[in-house]
Amino acid sequence: MNQENNSRRDFLLSGLMAAGIGVAAGCAPKSPFETAVGDEVKASGKKIKLLSVDGEVIEVDEAFLKPVPHMPPVSNTEARIGIPGKKFVMVIDLSRCKNLKKCQSACNHAHELNPGQNWIKVDPMQEGEHTAPYWEPTTCMHCDEPPCVKVCPVDATFKREDGIVLIDSDRCIGCRFCMAACPYSTRVFNWDEPMLPAAVASQPYSAETSIPQKKGTVGKCDFCADMTRMGDLPHCVSACPNGVFAFGDMNEDTVTNGAETFRFSELIKDKAGYRLMEDLGTKPSVYYLPPVSRNFPFESGLENDKIQNK
Partner 1 sequence: MENSASIADEKTINDLLPQKFGKWGKIWVGILVAICLVGMFAYYRQLRYGLVVTSMRDYASWGIYISNFVFFVAISLVGSLITAVFRLAGVQWSTPLTRIAEVIAVAAIIFASIIIIVDMGSPERFYFLVLYGRVQSPIIWDVIVISTYFFISILLLYYPLLPDIKILLRFKENTGKRLYKFYGFIGSFWKGTARQKKISEKAINILCITIIPVAFSIHTVTSWLFATTYRPGWDSTNFGAYFIAGAFLVGAGAVVVAMYVFRKADHLEKYITEDHFEKMGRILVLLALLYLYFNVNEFLTPYFKMKESERAYLNGLFTGDFAPVFWFAILVGMILPIIILLFKKGRKPLPVFIVGIMVVVGAWFKRYLIVTPTLLHPFLPMHDVPASYRHYFPSWEEWAITMGSLAGVCLVITVLTRIFPIIPIQETLNEQHETAA
SS3 105: helix
Q: Which is nearer to partner 1, 65 or 289 (CB)?
A: 289
User: Which residue among 51, 125, 196, 302 contacts partner 1 (CB under 8 A)?
Assistant: 125
| Residue 45 binds partner 1, judged by CB under 8 A | no
DSSP secondary-structure letter at 292?
A: -
Burial class (CB in 10 A: 0-12, 13-18, 19+), 218: buried
Binding mask 249-278 for partner 1 (x = CB under 8 A): ----------------------------x-
The residue within the footprint of partner 1, chosen from 5, 44, 203, 309 (CB under 8 A), is 309
Q: Is 53 exposed, middle or buried (0-12, 13-18, 19+ CB in 10 A)?
A: middle
Q: How far is the CB of 30 from partner 1 (least distance, A)?
A: 37
Residues 151-190 that bind partner 1 (CB under 8 A): 151-156, 171-177, 179-181, 183-185, 187-190
Q: Among residues 15 and 147, whose Cβ is nearest to partner 1? A: 147
CB of 165 vs partner 1, minimal distance in Å: 15
Percentage helix, strand, coil for the chain under 3-state DSSP, each rounded to 5:
30, 20, 55
What is the closest distance, in whole angstroms, from the C-beta atom of residue 188 to partner 1 in the complex?
6
Query: Of the two residues 70 and 310, which places its CB atom closer to partner 1 in the complex?
Result: 310
CB of 172 to partner 1, least distance (A): 7
With beta carbons less than 8 A apart as the criterion, state whether 186 and 141 touch. Answer: yes
User: Which region, left, alpha or beta, applies to residue 4 given φ > 0 means left and ψ of -120 to 50 means alpha?
Assistant: alpha
Smaller CB separation from partner 1, 34 or 193: 193
Beta carbon of residue 228, minimum distance to partner 1 (angstroms, whole number): 24
The yes or no reply on residue 299 touching partner 1 (CB under 8 A) is no
Q: In whole angstroms, how close is the CB of 282 to partner 1 at the nearest point?
A: 8
Which of 138, 206, 209, 257 contacts partner 1 by CB under 8 A? 138
Question: By CB under 8 A, is residue 231 in contact with partner 1?
Answer: no
Angstrom distance (rounded) from CA 156 to CA 286: 22
Query: Would you give the DSSP letter of residue 53?
Result: T
Rounded distance, CA 138 to CA 97, Å? 12
- Does position 290 interact with partner 1 (CB under 8 A)? The reply is no
Q: Using the rule CB under 8 A, is 227 a contact of partner 1?
A: no
| 180/157 Cα distance (integer angstroms) | 14
Dump strand ranges (E) for the chain. 23-24, 47-51, 57-61, 66-67, 88-93, 121-125, 134-138, 157-159, 165-167, 188-189, 218-219, 245-249, 254-256, 261-263, 286-289
Pairing of strands 286-289, 88-93: parallel
Among 22, 73, 133, 216, binds partner 1 (CB under 8 A): 216
67: preceding bond cis by omega (within 30 degrees): no
Site mask, partner 1, residues 82-121, x = CB under 8 A?
Answer: ----------------------x-----------x-x--x
Q: Which is nearer to partner 1, 99 or 228 (CB)?
A: 99
Instruction: Report the site for partner 1 in 1-40 (rule: CB under 8 A).
Output: none
Binding site for partner 1 (CB under 8 A): 104, 116, 118, 121-125, 138, 147, 150-156, 171-177, 179-181, 183-185, 187-193, 214-218, 277, 280, 308-310
